[in-house]
Structure 1
Amino acid sequence: MSFRLRIFVLVLLVASTAIGATAWLTLKLGSREVSQTLEAQSRHRTDIIAEIQRYGVQHGRWPGVDRVVGDLAERTGLHIQLQTAEGEVLVDSDIQANRPSGPVQPVAYDIDPLPVPRFQPSAAPASQRLTAGLAKINYIPKDLFGPDQERDNPAMRTLKQAAQYRAGLVLVRCLGDVAGSEPALGLESAPYVTRDQLTQSPECLRKASERVLGDDYWFQGYWDYLVRCERLKPGEGMDVDLTNTACLRGAFNDTVVTSTAVPLLLYLGGRNTVEVADFGRPALLGAAGLLIVALAGTFLIARQVSRPVRRLTGASILLAAGQHDVRVRDEGHGELAQLSRSFNTMARAVQESEERQRRLVADVAHEMRTPLSNLRGYLEGLADGVIEPSRELFASLHEETMLQRRILDDLQVLALAEAGDLGYTRTPTDLAELAAAGVTAQLAVAATAGVTLEVEAAAPVWVSADQDRMRQVLGNLLTNAIRYTDRGGRVAVRARAEAGEAVLSVEDTGVGIAPGDVPHVFERFWRADPARQRATGGSGLGLTIAQRIVTDHGGRIEVVSRPHLGTTFTVRFPLS
């Protein structure tokens, strides 16, 4: 079983077990949470509603209710959420406790923060109550918090309680501004304020009384509601019964609603936390077993991974220290074995690169040593008077110097190309025109060597390339072809489009290349015939540079040769 498959099986086993255990625990905890939540709601719902409503009645607004909700949630263990009628969340106990807001039950409970008036039965006969009520239908109390002068008229007593509630809110808010404390009514029912609150600030008491007693429109709204309520009763004509408790309560609520807090909706839910004790012993044992399986599987796989990794680490350290022949064992067919084989391949590539580098240094030294030795010998002979100076001698020395210069120039171009720093200016280039120009440039050299040059390009062949570099490539190929073709031979240059590619080929009838030497023709300083090439002045880098330029243009260069019959170099580019 491969390493990847073992990992997959282990992860699948752990994942499936974890998913099953999670589903079971979720169902178990969910059902338990629902039952506990419903039980806690039925036990605490009445107290929660009463306390929040009490806060709304005594404050007349909701700022600060979050503290009440937090205390209730902490005391009852429930998730408490208050929303407005429009669905905006006003307070959420989970968010206050820095927890994500958990779910709540879809059933909402009304929080109506309206004070409840006190009704007392009237001692007067109905006819007297009716006459008194009608006579004082525009009654406005003169002293809000003084003795009750209208004990026989429930409508007037109810109106006075409404006025006391409104004035009490104004009073406590004024007291809160003066003392810097939280404004709240001291009592839940009329007169709603305590004696201490009444005597604390005569100025605030006067301000509250004047604001309420001076609002005739507010008082008239109370009596108008009573009249409308009575007249809507069927079969009683236009009589107004000022002792009707339902109408009195409606008139009271309609009057004080302008001063009370807005109604809210209460939603209850369970706590959004899970403790260890909630899982139970079977769940804890299952989790422990799953953990043991995961740890054991991870240990076994880690052990199998660590061994080859340690070997690779040690080998990489030795390779970095210069020991290029280091290798690691690569038995098996798994991913780690493939990694070991990849390391061995890399180590061999590094070793071969190092060997090529050493060969390059040796080849450069060899190429420079013979011409420099010749120059030194001639110069010493001229200095000692052993050799007579002549024009032909100086021409020969100059030719040797130019050969070294060409070698150095070619090495510089090759170094830039291999480093990726050889710049190219790509333009639309016609290979047919390029072939004709290259042949023309080499006609004099070919004529001196007794070689016939031909060009075959029936139609334009367009590519995107650097024209100067393409001429350099073609010049190198033509130079080699002429150099290795005997007198009376022929060199043909062809440009054509073939199978979606642009093809440029140079074919000669020269000495050819042995089959064993063909793979080495693009190596630096390689010679099929070292004596002949040195005699004709080649640097041994032309084909290497040509291959690099062609590769940088996205093309490829190929060679086919038959000994004593000729050689063909073919360059292929993408058509423009």
Structure 2
Amino acid sequence: MTFRVRVFLLVVVVALTAIGMTWFLTLSLAAREYERTQSAADRHRPQIVDELARYGLTHGEWTGVAALTAALSERTGLRIRLESTFDDSVVVDTDHLAGRRARAVAPVPTTIDPRPPLDPLIRGELQGDPAAGPPAGPAGGPAPAVPWGVTPATLFTTPLGGPVPRRDLNPARMALKQVNQYRAALLARECLGDDPQAALPLTASPYLSTAQIAAGGPCVESAARQVLQSDGRDRDAFEACTGPFVADRSQCMSRAFAARISASGLHPLRMFLGGFESPGLRSLDPSAALGLAGLVVVAVAGTAVVARRVSRPVNRLTAASQRLADGDRDARVPTVGSDDLAQLSRSFNRMAEALQRSEERQRLLVADVAHELRTPLSNLRGYLEGLQDGVVEPSRELFASLHEETLLQRRILDDLQVLALAEAGTLHYARSPVDLAELAAFSATVHRAVAAEANVVLTVEAPAEVWVEADPDRLRQVLGNLLTNAIRHTGAGGRVSVRAVRDGDRALLAVADTGAGIAAADLPRVFDRFWRADKTRQRATGGSGLGLTIAHRIVTDHGGRIDVASVVGEGTTFTVRLAAAPPPASSRH
């Protein structure tokens, strides 16, 4: 498994763990916050319901309830949302009033009923409660016919049941009186107070205080007269609930009373309580805190593993590169495993080795060039000093030898220049179609005299045309180097053969000899600068030691390859492989 895959899997594990823990913590904290909010709502709901219901009861309308609701929300920390049961409109939303983001509320509402309840005395009369007095009439019979007898002057001043004997109490008359008292109290309070939204002082019959009734004067009497003038339908509805055929007179009377009260325009509200919002860390329970701690540990441990895994080899690479830059060519990085960082370390080691070999080759090149030039220059200097001192007699043979040494120096310098241009990529090639068969025949002809002088048989095997796209002069230089080396290292009576054939899409040019051969250990160095298989013949042969290096570079620049195969005592074969080309139009018949 590569380092990249391991890092990817580790990141995936950390990410999935983070997602899972986030999901778990969100649900856990949300559940806790919901439970906390619901607990607070259950604790404060009775108080909120009571105060809002009292407001509606004492004001007779919901105008102005927003201030009370906002105060309750501030005191309890809950969101209070009130909706009308009449048209489902929103009456108050404390989060909107406060200008904050709306929090969640419980889905089940609580009803705020602002209507005054039916007086317990009336309920007792309807249910035959002995504690409340005797029943309204004989068992199963109608209630006694009692005059309604309520006037504006007596609406507030007489209790619900009086002034009549207790046995003559009429629940219908009492219910109607309570309805009229509530309606008239609202009208009278509006008339008495400067603020039309002022609250009633009492939440039960007669809803006005004794002082207000006594001091009310025209306001109280006018309000009572106004409501008594329109109580005909109310009277009929209440009286119908006391009939002999009514199964549940108490329930009937309660419904009629609620309908009459609601007719004044006041309607109940639906209250939604909430406060559930995005929880904080302070809401964590032990299990959630443990899960969060585990997530942190996993994230930190994973990060530490990745950091350690990356930083250690990177630090080693940094230190090794610094030593390499400081001149320590033996700097290497230990490699363990097969991941990407290990491959990077191996690449650095290969680069350091290549740099070390390059410097070694450079040092060897300088040494080899100095050696190659020192010997002929020393010879020239010695002979010239001898001639100058008169120790050596001038002769034609001496000057010919000195001229040969000079030509050798020139060849070395020319070869070095060609090699430098080739390695710099600036050696010019004039490419054109070249027939390797013709090139082999021509080169063999040029070298046949040298081969004959060395008693070496030189043959050519080129049965057909073999075309390539190349620089003919550079290819002749390559083949000339190969033939010169082959003849030079083949003893008398040996053979050198040149073969040019086509092998599929490749063109082959091979030079084989029956010379001494090259040891297997030396084959990798054949194309090195100034390398010679026979160290003892380097001066006698007059070679520069750069021919094969130049040949290798030329073939490589042509997109080809030059190989060598050799067996000690049997001979050596150099094979040049180039891309074959179609014959030019002028050569086709």
Could you tell me the TM-score, scaled by structure 2's length? 0.53
Aligned match of 2:521: 516
Counterpart of 2:376, as a letter, is P
Give the partner amino acid of 2:448: L
Identify if the C-alpha distance between structure 1 residues 395 and 330 changes in structure 2 by more than 3 Å, giving closer, same or farther: same
Q: Give the distance between the partners of 1:438 and 1:486, measured in 2 at CA.
A: 20
1:17 corresponds in structure 2 to 17
Pick closer, same or farther for the CA change 1:439–1:22 going to 2, 3 Å. Answer: farther
CA 1:517–1:27: 2 relative to 1, 3 Å: same
Alignment match, 1:567: 572
For residues 103-118 of structure 1, what are the structure 2 equivalents within 5 Å?
none
Unmatched segments (≥5 aa) in structure 2: 34-79, 91-95, 103-276, 582-589
After TM superposition, give the deviation of residue 438 of structure 1 in Å: 1.7
Compared CA separation, residues 461 and 279, structure 1 to 2 (3 A): farther
Partner of 1:452: 457
Give deviations 1:48-70, integer Å, cap 9, x for gaps. Answer: xxxxxxxxxxxxxxxxxxxxxxx
Equivalent residues of 1:25, 1:279 under 8 A apart: no
Query: Deviation per CA, 1:523-557, whole angstroms, max 9, x where unpaired?
Result: 11111223323212100010111111112222211
Q: CA deviation at 1:426?
A: 2.9
Match status 1:503 vs 2:522? no
For 1:308 and 1:278, how far apart are their aligned partners in 2?
A: 39
- Counterparts of 2:436 and 2:15 in 1: how far apart (Å)? 63
Deviations 1:85-119 (A, max 9, x none): xxxxxxxxxxxxxxxxxxxxxxxxxxxxxxxxxxx
Match of 1:271 in 2: none
Residue 367 (structure 1) aligned to one of 372, 379, 386: 372
Judging changes above 3 Å, is the alpha-carbon distance between structure 1 residues 19 and 370 closer, same or farther for their aligned structure 2 residues? Answer: same
Q: Distance in 2 between matches of 1:279 and 1:550?
A: 78
AA aligned opposite 1:395 = A
1:303 aligns with 2:308: yes
| CA shift for structure 1 position 372 | 0.6
Deviation digits for residues 219-264 of structure 1, max 9, x if unmatched?
xxxxxxxxxxxxxxxxxxxxxxxxxxxxxxxxxxxxxxxxxxxxxx
Name 1:479's counterpart in structure 2.
Answer: 484
SS in 2 for 1:527: coil
Superposed CA deviations along residues 172-225 of structure 1, whole A, max 9, x for unmatched, are xxxxxxxxxxxxxxxxxxxxxxxxxxxxxxxxxxxxxxxxxxxxxxxxxxxxxx
Distance 1:424 1:287, change over 3 A: farther
State whether structure 2 residue 408 is matched by structure 1 residue 394: no
Q: Say if 1:510 and 1:566, in contact at 8 Å, map to a contact too.
A: yes
Which SS does the other structure have where 2:334 is aligned?
coil
For residues 390 and 7 of structure 1, do their structure 2 counterparts lie closer, same or farther at Cα, with a shift above 3 Å needed? Answer: same
- Choose the corresponding residue for 2:439, options 429, 434, 438: 434
Number of the residue aligned with 1:153: none
State the alpha-carbon separation in 2 of the partners of residues 473 and 26 from structure 1.
Answer: 79
**CA distance in 2 between partners of 1:380 and 1:399 (Å):** 18
- Partner in structure 2 of residue 324 of structure 1: 329
Q: Tell me which residue corresponds to 2:474.
A: 469
Change (3 A) 1:487 1:307: same
Cα displacement (A) at 1:371:
0.6
Which residue of structure 2 aligns with residue 411 of structure 1?
Answer: 416
CA 1:529–1:281 in 2, change beyond 3 Å: closer, same or farther? same
Measured after TM superposition, the shift of residue 304 of structure 1 is 3.0
* Structure 1 residues 512 and 24: alpha-carbon distance in aligned structure 2, compared to 1, 3 A threshold: same
1:444 and 1:2, CA in 2 relative to 1: closer, same or farther beyond 3 A?
Answer: closer
Distance 1:416 1:364 in 2: 17
Q: Which amino acid aligns with 1:9?
A: L
Q: Kindly, what percent of the aligned residue pairs are identical? A: 66
Distance 1:287 1:446, change over 3 A: same
In the alignment, which residue of structure 2 is the partner of 1:132? none
Aligned to 1:381: 386
For 1:420 and 1:434, the matched residues in 2 are separated by 25
CA distance in 1: counterparts of 2:462 and 2:339, whole angstroms = 54
* Structure 1 residues 443 and 279, CA gap change in structure 2 (3 angstroms): farther
Deviation track 1:501-520 (CA, whole Å, cap 9, x = no partner) reads 21100112233223333332
Query: C-alpha distance in 2, partners of 1:504/1:333?
Result: 42
User: Which amino acid in the other structure matches residue 318 of structure 1?
Assistant: R
The answer to whether the 8 Å contact 1:451/1:491 transfers is yes
Q: Secondary structure of the residue that 1:442 maps to in structure 2?
A: helix
2:493 equivalent to 1:491: no
Which one has the largest radius of gyration?
A: 2
How many pairs were matched up?
355
CA–CA distance in structure 2, aligned partners of residues 391 and 374 of structure 1: 16
Change (3 A) 1:496 1:27: farther
Q: Answer with 498-507 or 392-401: which moved more.
A: 498-507
Equivalences for residues 215-234 of structure 1 within 5 A: none
Q: CA deviation at 1:46?
A: 9.0
**CA offset at residue 463 of structure 1?**
2.0
C-alpha deviation, 1:313, in angstroms: 1.1
User: How many angstroms apart in 2 are the aligned matches of 1:421 and 1:284?
Assistant: 72
Match of 2:188 in 1: none
Distance in 1 (alpha carbons) for counterparts of 2:291 and 2:426:
64
Give yes or no for contact 2:25–2:292 (8 Å, CA) kept in 1.
no
- CA contact under 8 A between 2:436 and 2:468: conserved in structure 1? yes
- 1:59-458, aligned counterparts within 5 Å? 290-458=295-463
SS at match of 2:520: coil
User: Which of 533, 551, 555 matches 2:556?
Assistant: 551
Distance 2:2 2:483 in 1: 55
Equivalent position of 1:242 in the other structure: none
**What secondary structure, in the 3-state scheme, does the structure 1 residue paired with 2:577 have?**
strand
- Alpha carbons of 1:559 and 1:287: their partners in 2 closer, same or farther (altered >3 Å)? same
Q: 2:422–2:554: 8 Å Cα contact kept in structure 1?
A: yes
- In 2, Cα distance between the equivalents of 1:437 and 1:46? 110
Q: Which residue of 1 aligns with 2:52?
A: none
Aligned to 1:159: none
1:6 maps to 2:11: no
Query: Secondary structure at the residue paired with 2:563?
Result: strand
CA separation of 1:529/1:342 partners in 2, compared to 1, >3 Å: closer, same or farther? Answer: same
Alignment root-mean-square deviation, CA: 3.9
- State the SS of the aligned residue for 1:336: helix
In structure 2, relative to structure 1, the CA distance for the partners of 1:15 and 1:430 (3 Å cut) is farther
- Is the alpha carbon distance of 1:284 and 1:467 closer, same or farther for their aligned partners in structure 2, counting shifts above 3 Å? farther
CA distance in 1, matches of 2:308, 2:523: 49
